[in-house]
Structure 1
Amino acid sequence: MPETYVIEYEITEDQAAAAADAVLEAVNARAGSKVARAHLFRSGLHTLLAIGLLGAMVWLGPPPWLWFAPFLMCGLSVVLVLVVGLGALLGAVGPWQRRQLDAALREAFRRLESPHVRWTVTDEDLVVESGRDVREFGWADVKDVFLTGTFWILALDRGPQMLLLADRIPDATARFVLTRARDAGATIRIAGKTNLQPTEPTDDIIG
């Protein structure tokens, strides 16, 4: 007989702020922000190296054409810093994004036909019900699962992000969801930690 798990809870407007924080944390935890920091670190090293070369060239007095290399390194570093800085500037709209997302989630929670949410999870698929609103999707559609202390966020292929209230998930159900999602090829990410590796037991992150 196929395994079946049920998760039930009430969702309210008061949970919108926590949901918004969880969604933004999931977005900010992606590899792009880490890559930007790595680029910024490398640009700093290049700048220091270029300054060192300039100092050595002033001291040694080499042919004029050798001055091109350190100036080129400085120029490339400046361009890289400007690009990364622009990304940081765009990231400064984070508080505005959070307010907009908070408001959108409050409105979405308010418009639910019923605050009662029911998840039915089996080997084959997941069904989410709220009143007469029913959404069904298979495990192959789940591409990413991000775990925070308040919500689990399931990112679907060509679909919305599904919010699952974390403290309403029984341990056995949590293990089943994580194991089944990983077996189907989804990435398991944990807030503030490294990704769950394919051979790592899910018991290590439950409880």
Structure 2
Amino acid sequence: MNTLINIDLINCIETVIDRIQDNNISDFNELAYISVTSKSESYFRDKIAIELQKRYKDKVISREYVFRNETDDKSNKRYDLAIYDTNLSLPIKIIELKSWYVHDIRSSKVWNEVIYDLKKINELSIELDFEFVIIFTHVMDSYHDLHDGIIKYQSMVNADYKKRIQMKYPEDIDNYFNMRLTDINFEFKRIDTKLGKYRNRDIKNYIYVISKKN
């Protein structure tokens, strides 16, 4: 399998984050707003796709990629990003994205989603190169100025704030992945973002990139 071994996804994401931060003004933080008002994976997917396409002009960066073959031409399984050589029948890399709140690490659902996506990728090819990008949003204050329809899952965010003495972020997220990556050939890298603010709340995002070990 021909793989794109020289792609620097970490640097690409860091460039995307820097550009988002450049869009901030004195009373508005774009990343904080995006993170707490809805799921952010599509927002990041699109910005990462644009940056990848700029960098790798000889490749096709496919968003919401669907693989078609002769035996299953009606397949509707989608992959967030596929890096594609047009002369090959399969992508050379798949990138899947997910976004969560930090309190979600108290359950197994985050890792279950990683395993689900990995199985989906392996259905294309077990040799396929891949990376997972997982965004965790940390709402660091507890205010009741907005209801669940504005800040998503506000009741859970506030409940997590009360339990903050029991949980430490991002350390507990690191531990979550370290425990699950012990016996498999994966590793993670964390990208911290600058503190932002939306509606009197401090917002911070931690971005994890999970990939095969070199």
Greater helix share, 1 or 2?
1
Q: Larger Rg: 1 or 2?
A: 1
Taking CA–CA contacts closer than 8 Å with sequence separation of 6 or more, which of the two structures ends up with the larger relative contact order?
A: 1
TM-score using structure 2 length: 0.24
